[in-house]
Amino acid sequence: MLDRRLQELFPDHLAAVMRWSVGKEAEAAVRAVVEAGFRSVEVTMSTPDAAAIISRLRRPGCAVGAGTVVTAALAAEAIAAGADYLVTPFLVPEVARAAREAGVACVIGAQTPTEVHQALGMGADMVKIFPASPIGGAGFIRALRGPMPDCALWVSGGVELDEIGPYLAAGTDVVGLTTSLFAPALVRDGDTAQLADRARQALAAAASRAALAAV
128 is an active site residue: yes
Q: Which of 190, 160, 194, 185 is nearest to 175 (CA)?
A: 160
The residue annotated as part of the active site, out of 25, 27, 42, 163, is 42
25 is an active site residue: no
90 vs 205: CA distance, rounded Å: 28
Q: Are 177 and 15 in contact (CB under 8 A)?
A: yes
129 vs 141: CA distance, rounded Å: 8
Taken in order 99, 104, 109, 113, the sign of the CA dihedral is positive
For residue 177, report the phi and psi dihedrals to the nearest 5 degrees: -110, 125
User: What's 52-102 look like in SS3?
Assistant: HHHHHHCECCEEEEEECCCCHHHHHHHHHCCCCEEECCCCCHHHHHHHHHH
The residue annotated as part of the active site, out of 101, 128, 160, 163, is 128
Strands 85-87 and 40-44, sheet pairing: unpaired
Q: Which of 11, 29, 36 is nearest to 187 (CA)?
A: 29
Question: What residues act catalytically?
Answer: 42, 128
